[in-house]
Structure 1
């Protein structure tokens, strides 16, 4: 991309999450122009364009791509539409910046990667919790040996969603949402956990549908073993009135806790030294003064930098796939009752094409959890 050229971006899907993309683009207004938005709801598209002055509303993505020729497109539609729309964006020559979950299965993810080209266009996915400065600070302390080995962890996404939430037609169905809270809610914290602790090795899980009249689960629990040997528990729920997102990591020298809901700052992290750690050693553990919140704005900056450099952005390719593979393994373990190792779910495995293991000769009545 020539120096000084402004990035022409468009948005498909003008629902609530599109506002976070708009905020990211506004924060980078010196480099970005929002030129168009597409939504099947004409009124919603027009309302978005009223705020994004100069943007043109469309009712379909194909026409937008043909007429506007954007450099990058935010995909903010339901998960069942992601693979088709992202592939269209890539075929047009534009990059895609797609909401979570990336798609409904590992097979769809691999379709997307196959549609990329070396040097771009690429598809990146929104896992914004990686990009708060406090997460980078933890990774630095861990890499420098300050915290010792990570030993035990807990990853918790316990939120509350009522019947009205599931009245939206595409929610709670394997075919359109791809999964329950493990897929659509907890995937953010699980991605952050992997970002902090590295590669996972094995998972054993259970899921249940305890309240909601849906196909997918409304709660899941899992035990994850990491390549480092560390063990973690993972809990994802939409049944929890006291909503919280939490990661706790017990290392040899400290317990590190992050408690927030939909985003964090440095103040949301707490370091508790082990008894053997001398007090003056912990001064470096305090969050750095340049406190960057986890947000779409923080997540977009490296995407923009990668676009200008013509290199693969973070949260794409193998890097973006790791948490989706963990989710697939969680579901496979829950359905089969067996532990699942990383790399086990490959083409030909029923859970490669569906998080519920449907197809490839495997059918379950209502895909019941």
Structure 2
């Protein structure tokens, strides 16, 4: 039997989040080799490569791509660099697995998508909150009609970040981060909300800058109507000392709650039956698997898609949906009007920038 070719992976940006990517790849050590890492700070690239094993450090992406010809490039740099680095990797023939947020605007997302080719390479994005067994279980119960229709939902990302956090030069700026907590923090829970409830139809939002000396907001709220008719509230904050990530969905037959911070397992989901539901009907509601949400769990489907030459999850329209939602949130907050899905087209200022400013 011919031995299956191992995936040659390189990492760009060897800062804090790169460790989660390294752990994800090492979880598939029988299928993946980490061959290189690039960072503008040489010491970080060297340290990452030492922890990865036999990887080679680089100071720039161009040289890495030319010398290593990786099969997949993991992008762990600030959002302002994503479109350039992703496009270079795709044009070299490498697939891309890119950290959130995907980029700074819908225009940049569409530019990256234009560099893809049918059958690959593709770019997909790290929305690991989708990956826990609890999310798949909820979706299966909804698909089977067991929980009834989703009616009302709440999506909460209320975290705390101090002034030191924003002392990093690229944070809190439209041109480098692309937005505030709606873009850089709450996007995970909002993506999970859309993954659970389906397409959104309209959003009405407000943003404010209440504490931090930054260009972007530090808190946002939104009201959302889904295509199904369900209504939701969304809150994103970096002003909240009691930190929590939470989604609650009230369905016809049950209330389903997920409460965690940066990741969840089966124990973090709670199902409460409506009074009219018999106890025996709830037997299949408990989550059978304790597979947690993680980068490793999120990478598995990307690896499988690469092997099969098919589009991975969290890419294409599937990856764009939450970014369009964020753009609609910012546009609604700026204009005071509701924004419909599909409204933000290429000649719209909010297609070019989440701030609504010219590119």
TM-score, normalising length: structure 2: 0.99
Query: What's the Cα RMSD here?
Result: 0.7
- Distance, in Å, in 2 between the alignment partners of 1:247 and 1:119 is 35
Query: Over residues 137-188 of structure 1, what are the superposed CA-to-partner deviations in whole Å (9 max), with x where a residue is unaligned?
Result: 0000011011000000000000000000000000000000000000000000
1:3 CA displacement: 5.9
Report the equivalent of 1:331: 330
Q: Are residue 45 (structure 1) and residue 41 (structure 2) matched? A: no
- Distance, in Å, in 1 between the alignment partners of 2:30 and 2:152 is 44
1:345 CA displacement: 0.1
- Distance, in Å, in 1 between the alignment partners of 2:263 and 2:149 is 26
Report matched runs for 1:133-282 at 5 Å: 133-282=133-282
Which secondary structure state, in structure 2, belongs to the residue aligned with residue 121 of structure 1?
coil
- Distance, in Å, in 2 between the alignment partners of 1:278 and 1:53 is 55
1:246 CA displacement: 0.1
- Distance, in Å, in 1 between the alignment partners of 2:86 and 2:102 is 10
Which secondary structure state, in structure 2, belongs to the residue aligned with residue 202 of structure 1?
strand
- In the alignment, structure 1 segments of 5+ residues that lack a partner are 361-369
Report the equivalent of 1:102: 102
- Distance, in Å, in 1 between the alignment partners of 2:208 and 2:162 is 16
1:206 CA displacement: 0.1
Which secondary structure state, in structure 1, belongs to the residue aligned with residue 171 of structure 2?
coil
- Distance, in Å, in 2 between the alignment partners of 1:214 and 1:75 is 25
- Distance, in Å, in 2 between the alignment partners of 1:52 and 1:195 is 32
- Distance, in Å, in 2 between the alignment partners of 1:21 and 1:350 is 34
Which secondary structure state, in structure 2, belongs to the residue aligned with residue 267 of structure 1?
helix
- Distance, in Å, in 2 between the alignment partners of 1:76 and 1:169 is 16
TM-score, normalising length: structure 1: 0.96
Which secondary structure state, in structure 1, belongs to the residue aligned with residue 74 of structure 2?
strand
Report the equivalent of 1:309: 308
Task: Could you list the structure 1 runs, at least 4 aligned residues long, displaced by more than 6 angstroms after superposition.
Answer: none
Q: Are residue 346 (structure 1) and residue 345 (structure 2) matched? A: yes
Which secondary structure state, in structure 2, belongs to the residue aligned with residue 191 of structure 1?
helix
1:53 CA displacement: 1.0
Report matched runs for 1:73-84 at 5 Å: 73-84=73-84
Change (3 A) 1:349 1:4: same
- Distance, in Å, in 2 between the alignment partners of 1:167 and 1:51 is 28
Report the equivalent of 1:7: 7
- Distance, in Å, in 1 between the alignment partners of 2:7 and 2:346 is 37
Query: Over residues 35-56 of structure 1, what are the superposed CA-to-partner deviations in whole Å (9 max), with x where a residue is unaligned?
Result: 0000000011111111111000
Number of equivalenced pairs: 358
- Distance, in Å, in 2 between the alignment partners of 1:33 and 1:291 is 27
1:80 CA displacement: 0.1
- Distance, in Å, in 2 between the alignment partners of 1:12 and 1:223 is 37
- In the alignment, structure 2 segments of 5+ residues that lack a partner are none
Report matched runs for 1:281-296 at 5 Å: 281-288=281-288, 290-296=289-295
Report the equivalent of 1:120: 120
Which secondary structure state, in structure 2, belongs to the residue aligned with residue 258 of structure 1?
strand
1:291 CA displacement: 1.7
Which secondary structure state, in structure 2, belongs to the residue aligned with residue 247 of structure 1?
strand
- Distance, in Å, in 1 between the alignment partners of 2:186 and 2:220 is 10
Tell which deviates more after alignment, 351-360 or 113-122: 351-360
1:359 CA displacement: 1.0
Report the equivalent of 2:16: 16
